[in-house]
Every structure is written in structure tokens, then in C-alpha cells.
Structure 1
Amino acid sequence: MKTDVINLDAGAAGSIELADEVFGLDPRADILQRVVRWQLAKRQAGTHKTLSRGETHYSTKKIVRQKGSGGARHGDRGVTIFRGGGTAKGPVVRSHAHNLQKKVRALGLRHALSAKAQAGELIVLDAATLESGKTKDLKTAMEKLGIGKALVIDGAAVDAGFARAARNIQGLDVLPSRGANVYDILRRDRLVLTTAAVAALEERLK
């Protein structure tokens, strides 16, 4: 599929042929859901923890005598029914990550790129460079292009001035081509690729 290439000044900069194997697939929601779920599960901290019965520090002395007090027959204060006692079957520190085949992850990235291309939410820039490094200049350029919340993916490395200017713009993320992932692509309204990013992604996913 063929698409136009523009520059940061919203001027025409030619056209580019996008590979159908990467940008021309029919997006499948089930594949995208699997990859997004894998990504979010992997990033989940899993540091939740409560003390079990054996980890509480109380005297194991019997609270009251077995008979004659008129109250219930209790042992030590570390049991689960008392405040401050151990928790029965509580959460423990663990990893929430699960395995997902490499071919499914790569397929998910292809489907995410194809979804943006088919929805008309894909923009191709000739280059994402900004010599001034000023947020004001980049914000003006984004407004001229009609871009609000977007993910910008560059080639092997991101231009330092562009990255510095984008840091203070809410809803604008910048990644190198190696960091392209399904979750970040889907969560933004627009996907902006440089020509270097297109070449890198096609080489990676073909």
C-alpha cells in the first residue's frame, strides 16, 4: 500500500510503499488482546503481601483459661480472627508474567500497525528532528499537522532535540523502532512513523 510522506511543516515530502505483510493485514482483536494482556501482566509489580500466621510476632501464651471465663476458648493472639493476626491464604509476592510465543508477539505488532493504517490513523514523517529542542516549536508543528495524543516512532535512535521538546507535551510519546509495542500503539489516537522507522519495522517483521 502506498501512503504520502510529510514533514514537520505539514509539507509534502513524497510517498512511500508500505509492505502489505506488515501494514496490510486484517486486524484481529483476539491477537491484540493476547499481546496487550501479556504486556500488562509482565509490567505488574506483584509486590502485594500480607503476613501469614507463622510470620506474626505475638506471644503464643493462651489468652484466657480454657474454662470459667465466660468467653470463647482462644489460644494465642496471632490467629486470623484477631486484629493484627495472620492472614489466611493472603496475597504473596509473585510474578504475574506468563509466556507468549515470539511469533504471536510479532503477529500482534503487525496487526496493531495494520489497525492504525486501515483506520487512517497512521502518519509518515520524513524525519523527526528538531534543532531548537523547544516544546513550543514542536507543539506548533503538531497542531499544524492536526496531531493530539500520538506515539512517534523513529529509527534506531531518537533525535535528542525532538525527544527533549516532546517531554513536556502531554499525550505525546517518543520511542525508537526497537521499543515499538502493541500497547503503546493502541493507546494513542495517532501513530507517527518516520521513514527510518518504517524501514526498521519492515525489516524486523517481514
Structure 2
Amino acid sequence: MKVKLSNLDGTAGKGDIELNDAVFGLEPRADILHRVVTWQLENRRGIARAARERSDVARTGKKFGRQKGGGTARHGDRKAPIFIGGGKAMGPRRREFDVSLNKKVRALGLKMALSAKAKGSLVVIDSLDIKDVKTKAVAAQLAKANWGKKVLVIDGEAVNEGFARASANLVGVNVLPAIGANVYDILKHDTLVLTRAAVEKLEARFNG
């Protein structure tokens, strides 16, 4: 499919670009996108740290007092939760969230996310080179473009340093290199902005 190039302020750029239908022209499937997003979010979760319970504490199990006549409760184990150094009662247990997902499904999910954006909320620009490397100038350009509250900008091998610095404090504007493109971030933004270099990198990523 052919897409006309745009500028950062939303105006029409010079020329157009041919997008590979095998990457940007698929029919999105909600079940595939759901599986990939769930896999991403599960793998972002940290491992829950476990507390030591009675069976994990190294303390004597010998009865340390008389059964009767001591004026205290009839304790028979120093590992009981009521003692200092004893095991934790009902403590947190180790949980791991290392969900696995087939590479082909992950690749298909990314293609479908790109294809979903290509249906109406994808913008392709020539590059992220800006004359005035200032937050105010970039904010004015993006406001004029009116791409929505959340904009994801993906560049090529590395993000343009000037643009990254100027847009760092803009709320709702996120910048990634092509290698960092992922389904969750693409879907949660209103508009996806790709540079020409990003398109080349993404297409090469699947063709390679």
C-alpha cells in the first residue's frame, strides 16, 4: 500500500512511501493481539519475594519448657510465628510470571498491531530532524498536527537525539527506536508515527 509522507506539524510532505502488505496490510485478530499483550504485561511483573515460614526456619523443635507449672503457654517449638525469629504465618510465597509465547505468534501480533494502525491512525514522516531543538517548538508542531493525546514515535536504528531531548517532557508523547516496537505500546497510543528509517527497519526485521 502507498502512504503519503507527512511533516511533524501534520502538513503533507514530499512524496510517498510503499508499505509492505505482509507487515502493514494484515487483517487484525483480537485473539492474537490479546495473547501478545497478556504475555507482555505478565513478563513485566516482578517476582514476588517469599517470606520464611515455619518449615524454612532453622530453630530447634525441642520442647523448651515444662508442660505444666511454668506459668506460660505450653510451647513446644521455637519456630512458631509468635516468637522472634520464628516462621512467618501465612506469609507471601514466591510467584513467577515467566509466561512463554511462540516467536511466530509474537511476530504475527506485532504485524497485526502495525496493520491495525495502518487502517487510519498511522503517520509516516521522512525523518525527525528539527531546526529548533526546544520542547516548546516540538509541542507547537504536534499540537498543530492534532494527532491525539497519546502519540508514539518510532525512529530507525536509534532515536534522533535532538527530537528525543525536545520531546522528553511532553506528556503523552513517547519515542522508541525500531528495535523497541511492541504491541502493547502501539495499541495504547492514539497515533503511531513512523519515520522512513523505522519502516525500513521493521520490514527488514520480518523479512530477515
TM-score of the aligned structures, taking structure 2 as reference length: 0.84
State the partner residue of 1:74.
75
Q: Tell me the amino acid that sits aligned with residue 111 of structure 2.
A: R
Q: CA deviation at 1:62?
A: 4.3
State the partner residue of 2:53.
52
Q: Tell me the amino acid that sits aligned with residue 18 of structure 2.
A: E
Distance 1:60-1:152 versus aligned 2 partners, 3 A rule: same
Per-residue CA deviations over 1:60-109 (Å, capped at 9, x if unaligned) read: 564764346798643235325x3864246744445421221211111010
Secondary structure, counterpart of 2:108 in structure 1: helix
State the partner residue of 2:11.
11
Structure 1 residue ranges (4+ consecutive) displaced by more than 6 angstroms after TM superposition: 68-72
Cα distance in 2 between the residues matched to 1:29 and 1:5: 29
In structure 2, list runs of 5 or more residues that go unmatched. Answer: none
State the partner residue of 1:175.
176
The correspondence of residues 1-206 of structure 1 with structure 2, limited to 5 A, is 1-13=1-13, 14-56=15-57, 62=63, 65-67=66-68, 73-80=74-81, 82=82, 85-87=86-88, 90-93=91-94, 95-118=96-119, 120-147=120-147, 148-206=149-207
On the 8 A contact 1:130/1:159 being kept in 2, the answer is: no
Which segment drifts farther, 123-132 or 106-115?
123-132
Cα distance in 1 between the residues matched to 2:123 and 2:199: 11
What percent identity do the matched residue pairs reach?
53
On the 8 A contact 1:131/1:161 being kept in 2, the answer is: no
Distance 1:130-1:62 versus aligned 2 partners, 3 A rule: farther
Cα distance in 2 between the residues matched to 1:76 and 1:173: 57
Cα distance in 2 between the residues matched to 1:75 and 1:104: 56
Across the aligned residues of Structure 1 and Structure 2, the Cα RMSD in angstroms comes to 2.6
Q: Tell me the amino acid that sits aligned with residue 140 of structure 1.
A: A
Distance 1:57-1:136 versus aligned 2 partners, 3 A rule: farther
Distance 1:89-1:111 versus aligned 2 partners, 3 A rule: farther
Cα distance in 1 between the residues matched to 2:183 and 2:112: 9
Distance 1:59-1:133 versus aligned 2 partners, 3 A rule: farther
In structure 1, list runs of 5 or more residues that go unmatched. Answer: none
Cα distance in 2 between the residues matched to 1:171 and 1:65: 68
